[in-house]
Amino acid sequence: MVHLSWLLTQMEAQSSSGLVLSRKRRRESSTRDSEEGERLGKYPKCTVGLKNPAPFADELLPVDPKAYERVSMEEAKRGTRANRPVRVYADGIFDVFHSGHARALMQAKRLFPNTHLIVGVCSDDLTHKYKGFTVMNEDERYDAIRHCRYVDEVVRNAPWTLSPEFLIKHRIDFVAHDDIPYSSAGSDDVYKHIKDAGMFAPTQRTEGISTSDIITRIVRDYDVYVRRNLQRGYTAKELNVSFINEKKYHLQERVDKVKRKVRDVEEKSIDLIQKWEEKSREFIGNFLQMFGPEGALKHMLKEGKGRMLQAISPRQSPNSSPTREERSPSPTFRLPFFTKTSPPPSPRPHHSGARGYLISEDDEDEDVDEDEDEEN
């Protein structure tokens, strides 16, 4: 009862969240018609995981089979009362339990608003007889199924073909499985009598994932996985590998390590070469910018050379010098040791006793000419 009440609480929470999401989508579609695609609503934060695994059917208290009355498909789709969930049965091998199994059980759980999902798992004897050898033994497969969140009850040693007695014993309303005919045990479809009785509820297979596909991957890459497990510490005896093959795998692993090291060195060298090329291009560009034909250094040298020539070369005299008559009279100046009150100088500059005299630049030029004539 505690488990059933918890399920009802979770169903109410999911239905209320679904209503909120549907209203939200309607509002978004009305306001954002121009957007392409449909945005999925986000779920509110909640804890929906189970704390305990699903119980085994043979561990539950027995129920009077006379109280069992099967519901119809219409009643199941409308929804049954809280204390009468629709009991849906799904069976299988569930070897190497994967997402395809989980999705099939999820679809079976969602067939009706109020569903109690019972999952039957076949034993090793039946499986090896009708289908083949399994990777996981029956106990491992039982335990994997009871820890799936969609499962409410697990039937161990489930039958290969469902009999009316089995359906009545477990009070099964519907059987969920994919609609592809399942030929086995001398029958073209082991679910044919279930379909004829109107108790079959089809589900969809998940493409691209199956136990056979996973086993095929392992067989195809057998050497890779053997070497992987040898690296992880498994012995050759545990892996059923001969002594010669063990040495071969170890040698291959060493060769691969050397290859990986060489590849790493090559990648690093390629990175160094690329970086060196980038730096070299940058260095060459800077060098040409400084020392090239039109580089900054040439302009600096030209400018410095011009300044040096300008500093060391004398100024050129004018082409024609003015004659003496064309010269403007030179201004007269008074020696500092004569006063303004001194008498005018005598006409001869060599007379003694004169207290002051005027000297002009014209007189100096005449004296210089006379001295040059005397020397000649």
The pLDDT value recorded for residue 300 is: 75
Is 175 strand, coil or helix? strand
Q: Which residue has the higher pLDDT, 135 or 266?
A: 135
pLDDT tens-digit readout, 266-311: 777 787 787 877 777 777 777 777 776 776 766 777 777 777 777 7
Take residue 134 and report the two structure tokens written for it: 């399994």
Lowest mean pLDDT among 32-41, 45-54, 208-217, 322-331: 32-41
Q: How would you label 184-205 residue by residue, b for 16+ Cβ within 10 Å and e otherwise? A: eeeeeebbeebeeeebbbebee
DSSP per-residue codes, 84-96: S-EEEEEEE--TT
What does the mean pLDDT of the chain come to? 77
Predicted confidence band at 370 (pLDDT cuts at 50, 70, 90)? low
DSSP per-residue codes, 331-350: PPB--TTS-TTSPPPPSSTT
The pLDDT value recorded for residue 29 is: 43
Q: What is the mean pLDDT of residues 336-343?
A: 49
CA dist 103 to 110, 150, 173, 233, 361, Å?
Answer: 11, 9, 21, 35, 124
Predicted confidence band at 97 (pLDDT cuts at 50, 70, 90)? very high
6-10, 142-146, 208-212 — which one is most confidently predicted on average? 142-146
The pLDDT value recorded for residue 304 is: 74
- 100 φ/ψ sector (left φ>0, alpha ψ -120 to 50, else beta): alpha
Q: What is the mean pLDDT of residues 108-134?
A: 95
Predicted confidence band at 206 (pLDDT cuts at 50, 70, 90)? very high
Position 335 pLDDT exceeds 50: no
- Whether the model pTM is above 0.75: no
The pLDDT value recorded for residue 213 is: 93
| Pairwise CA distance, residues 235 & 9, whole Å | 51
